[in-house]
Amino acid sequence: MEPITDTYKGYTITTDKALMNVTDIHKWLSEQSYWSPGIPFGIVNRSFEHSYCIAALYNSKQIAYARLVTDYATFAYLADVYVIEEHRGKGISKKMMEVIFGLDWVKGLRRIMLATKGAQELYRKYEFTECKHPERIMEVTRPDIYKHP
């Protein structure tokens, strides 16, 4: 799959992992996110390697990130979406979602899921809704897993 790189309001939006900085991703996820505080670098790196990723860069510094955990055929889970605070409100996450949801293979997925604490309105613009049959959805959740050695 060929990487995509485009510009948007002075930002570089890219799916080229060679342009992304896993150290910056880890730092933000482990120190700033509500969903993975303390996550070890090795886990972030492995998840990066095994996902379809997109990022935004400003002056070559990574300022935003998201990834799809996917089989590229039927299912994807959108995860680890963030824009660092000083770059929020500029449409960067929307542009990243436009790029992802504009991909032909993503348009052909039967199901795409995500979990979000407060960005439901953003994701509704990309056809996300509450689960139509929540009684069918189950999970194993370990919110404090990174707090244990």
Give the residue extent of every domain in the chain: 5-147
Q: What's the confidence (pLDDT) of residue 118? A: 87
Task: Tell me 38's DSSP state.
Answer: T
Q: Averaged over 70-99, what is the pLDDT? A: 97
Distance CA(23)–CA(44), nearest Å, equals 9
Q: What's the confidence (pLDDT) of residue 144? A: 86
Q: What's the confidence (pLDDT) of residue 148? A: 66
Band (pLDDT 50/70/90 cuts) for residue 149 is low
pLDDT digits (tens, 9 = 90+) for 119-145: 898 899 989 999 999 999 999 998 888
Q: What's the confidence (pLDDT) of residue 8? A: 96
pLDDT digits (tens, 9 = 90+) for 11-63: 999 999 999 999 999 999 999 999 999 999 999 999 999 999 999 999 999 99
Distance CA(112)–CA(69), nearest Å, equals 10
For 5-147, the fitting CATH number among 3.40.630.30, 3.40.50.2020, 2.40.10.480, 3.20.20.70 is 3.40.630.30
Q: What's the confidence (pLDDT) of residue 29? A: 97
Distance CA(38)–CA(148), nearest Å, equals 10
Q: What's the confidence (pLDDT) of residue 42? A: 98
Would you state the torsion angle of the CA atoms of residues 78, 39, 55, 24, taken in this order, to the nearest 10 degrees?
170
